[in-house]
Structure 1
Amino acid sequence: MDFNVSKILFMGAPSTGKTSLINALKGKGFVCYEEISRQVTQEARDEGIEHLFLEQPLLFSEKLLEGRIRQFLSANSVEQSPVFIDRGLPDITAYLDMIKKPYPERFNNANQEYRYDIVFWFPFWEDIYTADEERYENLNLAKTIEKYLLKSYKMYNYDLIEMPKSSLEERLNFLLSYLNLT
């Protein structure tokens, strides 16, 4: 059953506050879909592959494509609107473009078929950048990724709403106010 749910996407370079805002929204009772790349990375580690994206980028990206399409379709069956999603399909092609890895046309087709209603861009913010075990990107690579992400989302004709560089509470208030959810 399709309830015509609004899909609100968060995009941006690694460590820009997307997950923190997703967690805050979950705490307020909103339906949120977490970033799935950590799950894909952990499953590969369980199979003995330290960084699947670095070792087999196309396989990693295919797993993300499948997972993100599942998230998108799952959001259609949620009665509560909006649904907030941490990272989207254009992120996948942005990363592959960055490493100059060719990919099948189905990646572009998915970007055109599964469209998000609103996209919030979390700009790179050096003051909050942190590395962790799943995140292989250093500071300079994170900045480079942002350029490819912006290019990818613009290529698929998304209008990006810039998330302010402010406290989590201020970001939450900005988001809820923008979406008239206050």
Structure 2
Amino acid sequence: MSALKLSLGLGLAFLLAGCVTVIRGDGTVEGAAKSELLQYAASKGPVLLELKGDNPGLPAIMDRVAGIANGTLKGMDVKFTGDPAQAGQLAYRFVLAFNPAAGVREADLCGAGPARVARHLEATRLLTAFCAGEELLASSIATGPQVSGAEDPDFAQMVRSGISETIRARATVGSNKP
């Protein structure tokens, strides 16, 4: 019997290896209002994507991150850009921080300045914030295996999952809407 439990446990661990999990974070906007605000921002042109952290290589991967993000939100006509000059409305933007330090909160991403970064050897953590100016509208927190770079499939999955969960409508307390 214990061999069966061990086998099942190892099988479950194998299935979860390489798995990206994401949860909803903080924010001031709930439900369908998140996607409505994003659609409004996207109606003026591409939505700005920012990466925060202390890695000087971040600007070099902005096109890759925007390419991953494009097409993430099914049923929504939203394009993303890493170039502020191409953004339709600079006030509305997504800010992503990979492996932020323990003290960095989602709301911190909407403010000026870089997010402190913690180096993790065993996993990658992604905070995704949808901001209007310095106000946090919605956010998510994704965790997954340690990524090797912007070309890593887990990196792409984390970006897509973070953006999707940030905008996904959820039922609020007392609501019967999904």
Normalising by structure 1, we get a TM-score of 0.29
- The structure where helix makes up a greater share of residues is 1
- The structure where strand makes up a greater share of residues is 2
Which protein is bigger by CA-based radius of gyration? 2
